[in-house]
Structure 1
Amino acid sequence: MNSIQVFEHSFLPIEKGKLEQHHFVALSKLNALHNDKYFDLRHNGIKFKQYVGVIQINGLTIEILPKIDNDGKDESVWHKALIEMLRVTRKLKVQQVDEAHVKKQQVHLLDIYFEWFLNEVQLLLHQGLIKKYYKETSNVKALKGKLEFAKHISHNLVHKERFYTTHQVYDKDHLIHQILRQALEIIASLSKGNYLYSSCKTVQLNFPEVKTIQANEQTFSKILNTRKTAPYTTALKIARLIILNYAPNVQYGSEKMIALLFDMNVLWEEYILVRLQQTNKGLRILGQRRKVFWEGIALKPDIVIQKDEETTYILDTKWKNIAYTKPSTQDLRQMFVYNEYWKSKKAMLLYPSTEYVFNGFKEFNDRAQKCGLGQVSIFKDNSTELDDTIGTTILEWFEKD
């Protein structure tokens, strides 16, 4: 299987042996299904947007990696950084994956998700799969449940030994296992030729025979969270990600593709939120708090930090390089309004950078409220490891000034 690594906002041209014309056509169909949000189509290639992750189609894997401009780090560093950011934000659990393979990029992001799912299903099989009651309407040899009289007459004029009934069944062929089976089939179809295929087939052999379904968004909403289904939470979460992002036969074509893509702006916000919550400073650190300000329209700063009843800080994250520019007027107006509505004295716009830069808070004209610009490096000094002290540094900036 061919693979390509690109950075967000980069251009990938159509090129023989890499992104070929049939890949381009299939990707254009996928993008259309998602309102053209993942990338822009150009005359002879694709211009990616702020989405990072992985796309697999017709034997081609495209990994889209985050990138801070002019940081000098190559794809292998950002491949590892993306996996770690997804792990920290609990969008990914890296387990039983050879770390040396990850470092060498022999394991793609999609493989890690597939292996995570297979491990979860193996664990469920080891613990024992649950049985559930469900209603079934069918022709049976013994009278049980409710006799469906009209259908009984039409189906059994000749076969008088049968009964057409609606009755309860208690076994493993229920919605949860049907969803897991569908995800297993997708993994089997997309992992042919790599190290995961045999593992997937082994899991499938140990999995019970259940009905084939085509799950969608509404299917997952039917699953009730109970004490009995609690062990399935993680497996269902990954299955949902796989199934809803799998697009076989896009618009009557023959392509099978899957796209696990994440908005880097959202991932950056969630990553900073988790790093702040890890500081254990005794603060209330809350994400996406909302206040309605007009006709049901709400204000939602990325992060609200509450020190005590009198002190609140506002933090808004922006995944863009601001090294040689100023913040937009719109962003500053937004921070001003956040300060007003949350009665906060300090707000900060936080950007990624190759170094830590903070020049203090500046007052809005004729106001006591302040706004500051912070730039943080996600890497430790002279290292390719993520800096897990980002949260502490940000809180120190709020406390100092």
Structure 2
Amino acid sequence: MNKDNHLTVFEHEVLRTDRGDKKLTDVQLKSMQEFYGESGVPYYSLVHNGVKFCEYVGVLQIGDTLIEILPKIDKGFSGSEDSWRIVLIDMLRAAGVFDLKAPSSGNLKLKSNSILHLYFELFIKEVKYLLRQGLVKKYRRAEGNNTSLKGNLKFGKHISQNLVHQERFYIQHTVYDSTHELHSILFKAIKLLVRINTNQNIHGPLKLLELEFPEMPDVKITEATFNKLTLNRKTQQYEKAIQIARLLLLNFHPDVSKGSNHILALMFDMNSLWEQFVYVSLRKYKDVNTTIAAQSSMNFWKPSRGYNSTMRPDIVLNKGKEDCVVLDTKWKHIKNYNPSPQDLRQMFTYMKYYKAKRVALLYPAVTFSRNHGRYYDHNERNFQRLGEEECSVISLPYNTDIRQWQKEISMQITNWVKGNDITIVDC
């Protein structure tokens, strides 16, 4: 890809058409404004002559231009684009977004210059693996004219179409071949990649894959298409390729007016990614006697009509036990400020309903810190005396070595659970 067509920014940065080292063209801005529409998109907001990115990271491809949005813990912290790209890819892989355990992906080299191209490479390898193994065949119903009578004769259509062609029969019969929905989805994804790819390194493999894969009928792809798919023992090996095809096909937004500025949005919410990353890190290194649950739901309020309201903390350790611990993750740099009152009230509610021994808010950081504060005694009329309930604030420093980072997260949380707290701050 031409470097002029590859823009890299960090979350919460602004791209404008009239100023800045990195600029959008008027055509690109117009495409992003049209994509934003009246209801908006969560990836960015519109500002004067530009866009401001939010806490979503990933890639936006607009025509031939690729905008890569990377995470950054602190605006004042200087980290290279390459290092943050590696951190993001490793976080996605650790959280299970990139499942590199598939049979065909053992030799995948993470040398892509964007997450989008990494997905392209992984998809190519998955489909090549399926071709080498032999595409799965299925039975399907087919009907049409044939020179031999087999299956069921569709008498009405036979008379209307073959009145002067007595050598033909219009029949309905069963065919056993590779033309089925799974292959139609993969073929449509291949055609899409050939159409939008701007990476010269994978242009050749993509074109070769297009030639090797058998022609399939065009199908309309929606969310429902994938929701109704079921894989069995024979088709389980298609899972990863179908997952990537789903991601690409459902996030592609064609430019119906001009046909030159299609948008592919492959974005990830850093709040959700940070939550999942912390969860899998704790689960990976947890003690054998410790239980861990993510998004554990509990009824909170029952209306006279309608559905119950529930609460759902990010992570619960030892749910239902005397040493229960509730953790909530926040992807933002807290610096020296207190958590928001809303977050503190939320943690107090978790403590009461889950009967938790300890609760904590977990933030990413450049350096490690662990503070805790006590809530004021809610049983006292004037709320002048501190109670015994605590809420800890733990800042976990990032590490470019993802395995070491996961170990450090687990170690710090384990030490905190054991009661090795430090500075006390009143909440």
Same fold flag (TM > 0.5): yes
2:90 corresponds in structure 1 to 84
Give matches, 1:91-240, under 5 Å. Answer: 91-93=97-99, 96-98=107-109, 101=111, 107-192=113-198, 194-240=200-246
Query: More displaced, 30-39 or 257-266?
Result: 30-39
The answer to whether the aligner puts 1:36 opposite 2:56 as a matched pair is: no
Out of 70, 73, 97, the position equivalent to 1:65 is 70
1:315 corresponds in structure 2 to 327
How far the C-alpha of 1:29 sits from its partner, in A, is 2.4
How far the C-alpha of 1:165 sits from its partner, in A, is 3.6
> What is the number of residues matched between the two proteins?
394
2:310 corresponds in structure 1 to 298
- TM-score, L = length of structure 1: 0.90
1:376 corresponds in structure 2 to 396
1:272 corresponds in structure 2 to 278
Bigger radius of gyration = 2
- The residue type paired with residue 56 of structure 2 is Y
How far the C-alpha of 1:140 sits from its partner, in A, is 3.2
Describe the shift of the 1:354–1:136 C-alpha distance in structure 2 as closer, same or farther (beyond 3 A).
same
The answer to whether the aligner puts 1:391 opposite 2:416 as a matched pair is: no
Aligned partners of 1:360 and 1:397 also within 8 Å: no
- The residue type paired with residue 25 of structure 2 is E
Give the Cα–Cα distance (whole angstroms) in 1 for the partners of residues 119 and 87 of structure 2: 16
Provide the aligned C-alpha RMSD in A: 2.4
- The residue type paired with residue 244 of structure 1 is L
Aligned partners of 1:29 and 1:250 also within 8 Å: no
Query: More displaced, 241-250 or 25-34?
Result: 25-34
Give the Cα–Cα distance (whole angstroms) in 1 for the partners of residues 160 and 18 of structure 2: 61
How far the C-alpha of 1:142 sits from its partner, in A, is 3.3
Give the Cα–Cα distance (whole angstroms) in 1 for the partners of residues 347 and 46 of structure 2: 34
Describe the shift of the 1:342–1:353 C-alpha distance in structure 2 as closer, same or farther (beyond 3 A).
same
Structure 2 runs not aligned, ≥5 long: 302-306, 379-386, 421-427
Give the Cα–Cα distance (whole angstroms) in 2 for the partners of residues 374 and 232 of structure 1: 41
Give the Cα–Cα distance (whole angstroms) in 1 for the partners of residues 402 and 182 of structure 2: 41
Aligned partners of 1:124 and 1:232 also within 8 Å: yes
Out of 5, 8, 18, the position equivalent to 1:5 is 8
The secondary structure found in structure 1 opposite 2:187 is: helix
Out of 348, 356, 381, the position equivalent to 1:344 is 356
Describe the shift of the 1:145–1:10 C-alpha distance in structure 2 as closer, same or farther (beyond 3 A).
same
Give the Cα–Cα distance (whole angstroms) in 2 for the partners of residues 136 and 33 of structure 1: 45
Aligned partners of 1:7 and 1:66 also within 8 Å: yes
Give the Cα–Cα distance (whole angstroms) in 1 for the partners of residues 352 and 399 of structure 2: 34
Give the Cα–Cα distance (whole angstroms) in 1 for the partners of residues 310 and 344 of structure 2: 18
Out of 14, 22, 26, the position equivalent to 2:31 is 26
Describe the shift of the 1:156–1:388 C-alpha distance in structure 2 as closer, same or farther (beyond 3 A).
same
Query: More displaced, 230-239 or 215-224?
Result: 215-224
Structure 1 runs not aligned, ≥5 long: none
The answer to whether the aligner puts 1:14 opposite 2:33 as a matched pair is: no
Aligned partners of 2:222 and 2:250 also within 8 Å: yes
The secondary structure found in structure 1 opposite 2:69 is: strand
- The residue type paired with residue 419 of structure 2 is K
The sequence identity of aligned pairs, in percent, is 39
How far the C-alpha of 1:347 sits from its partner, in A, is 1.0
- The residue type paired with residue 299 of structure 2 is V
Give the Cα–Cα distance (whole angstroms) in 2 for the partners of residues 231 and 34 of structure 1: 38
